[in-house]
């Protein structure tokens, strides 16, 4: 069976699972021992067969919870933040059950190592340790793992678009595009054995190599004969996915130019669109973080304001109309980075080396400090901390005519930062807007609080690198 590869030093799935099992058991025991000594003046726990049994049950329960959460193996298709989130949830849920049982049975009163404070601190420490370890290992599996080789079957615009995007994408995957015409797809024969796929066209072998999976990228339906061949290959364990799924799973974007008419109606996800607890929780976090951030940023904002006044004429704060949630217009605030009357001839894209940008404005844009006043927009409810960047109404009118599904980015509130901002450079054309929409739709579909946190951390890394720190 073909499986996703992991770094050589991580070994096999079984080896990784066994090592992590031993690691979790040993670390949880050591944490409980250390916490007990630290909180009770280096006092040694009074061990007994009964206590040993209770501690073994605690450790076994935590390991079982991690196992049920599928956290003893690594899959390159899973994002590190998803592994971290699942780990935290597994440890937290199991820990809550353990603590509840121990408190109800009064065992916490009999053994100092299980006293309420000791137990809670131990389980919380183990949770954060487990999250860190698995996040690092998952990131290593993605970063240092050997490339995945995918065979692309298809012709027409879908294959051409996938090939063009693949050439411009920073990915460890290796895609093999077969040189075949659409009318020859029905003549293909596929044979799979010993992790090698052999593809023949009549009597000619056109591919014979190991593969990690097959990507279907065809404008029209595949011939029945080829579908039958693919079904046989899939039953042998070879992943077979549509090109749209490849974009989502491997490139972390939704290809707007390849979506069918019923894509939105049939796709899973879209928690923020459905409303409920996800929106309320996100709003609460937005208000709390933005309020704290605005207070902390006041000294920096004063310095920026003084620098702008001393170096150029015009207002310090620049107000501009943008399209927000459900297309409603609102006023966004930011520190002015361009010369006064920069758009006296109408709205226009900002391009690299734009002469309208002032010297200090260029630095403010690189560090994203020009967007600090938008924390007020977040508090007001116009924006969120994370979401698609709000666009100018003049541009939106044009882009909605040129790019399919462009209006779907307005299904959620715009953000200070977003998935497109950390995955794609500054855009200055409709084509850039189309590429960034791929990432915006991926965010709208796959939103989670953990994804938001990951985007914020990635944004901080991008800002620091741009500032030359």
Distance of CA 333 to the CA centre of its chain: 28
Q: What is the pLDDT of residues 119-163, one digit of tens each?
A: 788 888 998 898 888 888 887 776 666 667 899 998 888 999 999
Per-residue pLDDT at 150: 92
Query: Using CB atoms within 10 A of its CB, is residue 288 exposed (0-12), middle (13-18) or buried (19+)?
Result: exposed
Q: What is the pLDDT of residue 4?
A: 39
pLDDT at 6: 36
In this predicted structure, the answer to whether residue 44 has a pLDDT above a threshold of 90 is: no
Closest CA to 229 of 197, 265, 195, 274: 197
User: Considering the entire predicted model, what is its pTM?
Assistant: 0.73
| Range name among 64-78, 199-213, 276-290, 358-372 with the lowest pLDDT average | 64-78
What integer best gives the mean pLDDT of the chain?
84
Secondary structure (3-state) at 350: coil
Residues 6 or more apart from 349 whose CB is under 8 A from it? Answer: 395, 428, 429
pLDDT for 243 beyond 80:
yes
Q: Are 153 and 216 in contact (CB under 8 A)?
A: yes
- Which of 122-136, 224-238, 255-269, 444-458 is least confident? 255-269
* Strand-pair partners of 209: 197
% of the chain beyond a pLDDT of 90: 34
pLDDT of 268-316, one tens digit each? 888 887 778 888 999 999 999 999 999 999 999 999 999 999 988 889 9
Measured distance CA(447)–CA(453) in Å, rounded = 11
SS (H, E, C) 227-270: HHHHHHHHHCCCCEEEHHHHHHHHHCCCCHHHCCCCHHHHCCCC
Q: Determine how β-strand 204-210 pairs with β-strand 196-201.
A: antiparallel
pLDDT at 389 over 70: yes
β-sheet with 213-216: strand ranges across: 174-177, 149-153, 213-216, 240-242
Which one-letter DSSP state was computed for residue 108?
G
Residue 455, judged by CB atoms within 10 A of its CB (0-12, 13-18, 19+), counts as buried
Q: Mutual orientation of helices 393-402 and 430-446 as an angle, nearest 10°?
A: 90
């Amino acid at each position: 069976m073909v499986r996703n590869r992991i770094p050589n030093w991580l070994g096999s799935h079984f080896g990784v699972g066994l090592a992590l099992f031993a690691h979790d058991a040993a670390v949880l025991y050591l944490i409980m021992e250390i916490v007990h000594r630290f909180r009770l003046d280096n006092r040694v726990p009074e061990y007994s067969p009964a206590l040993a049994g209770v501690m073994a049950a605690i450790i076994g329960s935590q390991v079982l919870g991690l196992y049920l959460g599928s956290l003893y193996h690594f899959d390159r298709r899973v994002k590190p933040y998803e592994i971290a989130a699942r780990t935290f949830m597994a440890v937290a849920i199991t820990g809550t059950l353990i603590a509840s049982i121990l408190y109800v049975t009064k065992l916490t009163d009999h053994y100092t190592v299980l006293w309420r404070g000791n137990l809670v601190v131990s389980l919380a420490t183990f949770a954060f340790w487990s999250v860190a370890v698995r996040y690092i290992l998952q990131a290593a599996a993605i970063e240092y793992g050997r490339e995945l080789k995918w065979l692309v079957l298809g012709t027409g615009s879908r294959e051409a678009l996938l090939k063009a995007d693949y050439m411009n994408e920073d990915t460890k995957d290796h895609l093999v595009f077969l040189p075949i015409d659409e009318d020859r797809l029905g003549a293909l024969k596929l044979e799979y054995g010993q992790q090698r796929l052999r593809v023949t066209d009549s009597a000619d072998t056109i591919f014979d190599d190991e593969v990690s999976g097959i990507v279907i990228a065809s404008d029209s339906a595949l011939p029945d004969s080829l579908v039958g061949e693919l079904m046989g290959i899939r039953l042998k364990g070879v992943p077979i996915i549509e090109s749209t799924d490849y974009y989502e799973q491997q490139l972390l974007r939704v290809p707007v130019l390849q979506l069918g008419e019923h894509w939105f109606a049939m796709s899973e996800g879209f928690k923020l669109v459905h409303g409920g607890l996800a929106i309320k929780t996100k709003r609460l976090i937005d208000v709390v973080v933005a309020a704290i951030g605005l207070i902390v940023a006041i000294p920096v904002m004063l310095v920026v304001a003084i620098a702008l006044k001393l170096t150029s004429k015009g207002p310090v704060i620049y107000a501009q109309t943008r399209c927000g949630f459900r297309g409603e217009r609102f006023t966004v605030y930011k520190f002015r980075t361009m010369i006064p009357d920069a758009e006296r001839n109408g709205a226009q894209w900002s391009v690299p080396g734009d002469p309208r940008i002032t010297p200090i404005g260029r630095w403010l844009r690189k560090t994203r400090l020009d967007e600090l006043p938008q924390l007020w927009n977040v508090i007001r409810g116009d924006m969120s901390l994370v979401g698609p960047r709000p666009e100018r109404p003049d541009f939106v009118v044009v882009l909605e005519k040129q790019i399919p599904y462009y209006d779907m980015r307005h299904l959620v509130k715009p953000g200070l930062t977003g998935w497109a901002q950390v995955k794609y450079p500054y855009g200055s054309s409709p084509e850039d807007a189309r590429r960034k929409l791929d990432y915006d739709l991926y965010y709208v579909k796959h939103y989670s609080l953990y994804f938001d946190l990951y985007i914020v951390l990635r944004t901080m890394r991008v800002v620091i690198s741009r500032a030359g720190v």
